[in-house]
Amino acid sequence: MRRGVLGLVAFLILSLSAVGFAGDKTLVIGFDDDLITLDPADFSHRQTEAMLRQVFEGVSTYTPDREIVMELAESIEEVDSTTYEIKVRQGVEFHDGSPLTAKDVAFSINRLIQDGAMAGRTSQRRGLLGPTKEAVVVDDYTVHVKLANPWPLFPRFIPWQMIVPRSVGDDYITKPIGTGPFVFEEWVRDSHFSVTRNDRYWGRKPKVDRVVFRVIGDESARVSALRSGEIDIATFAPVHEIPSLKRDPQIDVVSVMGTRSYFLEMNVNKPPFNDIRVRQAMNYAIDIDTAINVLYEGQATRIPFILSPQAFAYHDGLNKYEYDPQKAKELLAEAGYPKGFSFELDVVDTHRARAEIYQAMLSVVGIQAKIRTWPTWGAARDAWMQAKGRPVDEQRDAFLNDWGNASLDPFDIFIPKFHSDASGLGRGNFTGYSNGEVDELLEATLTSASDSKREAAFIAAQEIVHGQVPMVFEFVAHEIYGVNRRILNWRPSPDSRIHINLLGVDLK
């Protein structure tokens, strides 16, 4: 017995004196998902982007206020309608000590657009560079980017790409070497991704020594870890935890309007959704405001179309359907479905609750939604794509879906969702919506040099599509972060990136 007590005391003393904890200024961020890859050209995934962006930089970047600032470029200028000139910053070094030159910048851009440039694989991010054809080195610090056709969006989309050293060659990147304010330390799959301060950083040096991104998929666990002080920032905190987080004197709750739009897509070629009155009835029968209150406790903003109120060319004159089950019933009767109808509603497993709410709302007007859950978004998307080529009665009915629009430009949400070419520009067109006039308007925005012309085209297209109601338009959800008060200067960004050095984040 005595020996046991002594042992315990010794043990406790040892545990207190041990140096198990990380260095002084370590910022720990609890993330909902792991990185997919360490190669900055091979993902389309926000979490991966947020982590890799600590190590890699772009020629330019977006701030949390959605302004574009230069990063590795000193300037990006239009030379002519199909050529942009990038002046590369001088005196910048990669983490391996090699200097950054125009060759690295050109290499990085070409790596994104050439077939099989990454050990045989082609970048998934190519689509974000539109008609970019080639980057050529002009001199040590000048690059010319050639476009296949005029594309005035280039300066707005190049900030999404990261610059890698040309020594990468044909390889797939498994050890990230960038120019950023932090140096890659280690990635332990499904555990953490960590970086340390780059003391030779060309710009303002980071105030924190180390940043650890912890993968905590379970949202309750993420919030618990924030409460216990194990992590400093919890991303995507669930709304139902907000009240208790707000009561905690150590924790701030901050939120930002996200860039993901939610909607219910109806197959406009398949009965009964081929009748516009049925689609209108669906919009009248679903009470979006109540859904927002139930699912997000008000932390979401209703939208009349698929664009976020913050997006370029947002049309604020479009009407939102007010909840009116009576009107829905009348429209259904007019369309020949006085007793309603039944259809299959596809939904990704994680959006079960949303589907169940709509199911209950629709049943009030006699519409029976049979929910079909899919384990992943990809599986559901695939089912739609496979069914697309078949006769209309074998196609899927409706999909409770969402689409991210980090650029907040209609370019990567409006066009993929409503252009009729489902294998090309309209790669996300699940509704089967097809309208020649809309196609023309959307294509015009790709080459138009002036903002006002693009805006006018998008506005006109929105009016047409909105009038034909191919979807039940829902909302943009807010992203909620729990932050320990010892963190200074940090605030969230609508594109889910985590800015640390840009904001001068420090620890108390």
Partner 1 sequence: MIEGERALPPGASHDKALRVLRRVQANFREFWRLYSKNRLAVVGAVIVVGFILMAVLAPQVAPHDPVRPDFLAIRRPPGWMDGGSWRHPLGTDHLGRDILSRIIYGSRISLVVGFIVVFLATSVGVVLGLVSGYYGGNIDAFIQRVIDTILAFPYLILATALVAVMGPGIRNMLLALVYKEWVYPCRVVRGDVLVAKEREYVEAAKAVGAGRFHIMFNEILPNVLASTTVVSTLRVAWVILMEASLSFLGMGVEPPTPAWGTMINEGRRFINTDWWISAFPGLAILLTVLAINLVGEGLRDALDPRLRE
Partner 2 sequence: MQTILQRIGQTIPVLLGISLIVFLLMHLTPGDPVETMLAGVGHVSEADIAAMRHELGLDRPLVEQYLSFLMGLLKGDWGTSIRSQAPVRELIMERLPATIELTLAAIFVSLLISIPAGVLSAVRRYSFVDKLSTLGALVGVSMPDFWLGLVLILVFSVGLGWLPGGVRLAFDMVAPPAVTGFLLIDSLLAWNWSAFWGALRHLALPAIALGAPMAALTMRVTRSSMLEVVRQDYITFAKAKGLAEWAVVGKHALRNALIPTITVVALNMGVLLGGNMIIERIFSWPGLGQLVVDSIRTYDYPVVQMAVLLYALTYVAMNLLADLMYIRLNPRVRV
359 binds partner 1 (CB under 8 A): yes
User: In a 3-state reduction of DSSP, which class is residue 374?
Assistant: strand
Among the listed residues 168, 331, 335, 355, the single contact to partner 1 using CB under 8 A = 355
Distance between terminal CA atoms of the chain?
44
CB of 392 to partner 1, least distance (A): 22
CB of 355 to partner 1, least distance (A): 7
CB of 367 to partner 1, least distance (A): 14
Considering only the stretches 134-142, 168-176, 276-284, 289-297, report the one whose residues sit in contact with partner 1 under the rule CB under 8 A: 289-297
Residue 283 is encoded by which pair of tokens?
């919009």
HSE-up of residue 102 (Cα within 13 Å, Cβ side): 17
For partner 2, the binding residues in 5-24 under the rule CB under 8 A are 11, 14-16, 18, 20-22
HSE-up of residue 61 (Cα within 13 Å, Cβ side): 22
342 binds partner 1 (CB under 8 A): no
List, as one string, the DSSP characters of 104-163: HHHHHHHHHHSTTTBTTB--TTGGGGTTEEEEEEEETTEEEEEESS--TTHHHHGGG---
User: In a 3-state reduction of DSSP, which class is residue 481?
Assistant: strand
Among the listed residues 7, 336, 338, 375, the single contact to partner 1 using CB under 8 A = 375
Out of partner 2, partner 1, none, which partner does residue 127 contact, by CB within 5 to 8 A per kind?
partner 2
Considering only the stretches 26-34, 259-267, 314-322, 333-341, report the one whose residues sit in contact with partner 2 under the rule CB under 8 A: 26-34
Q: Are strands 142-147 and 182-188 parallel, antiparallel or unpaired?
A: unpaired
Nearest 5°: phi and psi at 110? Answer: -65, -35
Of residues 502, 477, 506, 500, the one with CA closest to residue 239: 477
Out of partner 2, partner 1, none, which partner does residue 357 contact, by CB within 5 to 8 A per kind?
partner 1
Out of partner 1, partner 2, none, which partner does residue 15 contact, by CB within 5 to 8 A per kind?
partner 2
5 vs 16, which CB is nearer to partner 2?
16
Nearest 5°: phi and psi at 474? Answer: -115, -90
**Segment (H or E) for 402:** strand 398-404
DSSP one-letter code for 93: B
228 vs 319, which CB is nearer to partner 1?
228
Among the listed residues 371, 387, 444, 460, the single contact to partner 1 using CB under 8 A = 371
CB of 492 to partner 2, least distance (A): 20
98 binds partner 2 (CB under 8 A): no
**Segment (H or E) for 428:** none
Binding pattern to partner 1, positions 233-252, x when CB under 8 A?
A: -----x-xx--x--------
34 binds partner 1 (CB under 8 A): no
144 vs 388, which CB is nearer to partner 2?
388
379 binds partner 2 (CB under 8 A): yes
Nearest 5°: phi and psi at 86? Answer: -110, 120
Q: How far is CA 304 from the centre of its chain?
A: 20
Task: Give whole-number Cα distances, 451 to 81, 166, 458, 485, in Å.
Answer: 14, 35, 10, 41
Among the listed residues 3, 189, 247, 339, the single contact to partner 2 using CB under 8 A = 189
217 binds partner 2 (CB under 8 A): yes
30 vs 180, which CB is nearer to partner 1?
30
128 vs 347, which CB is nearer to partner 1?
347
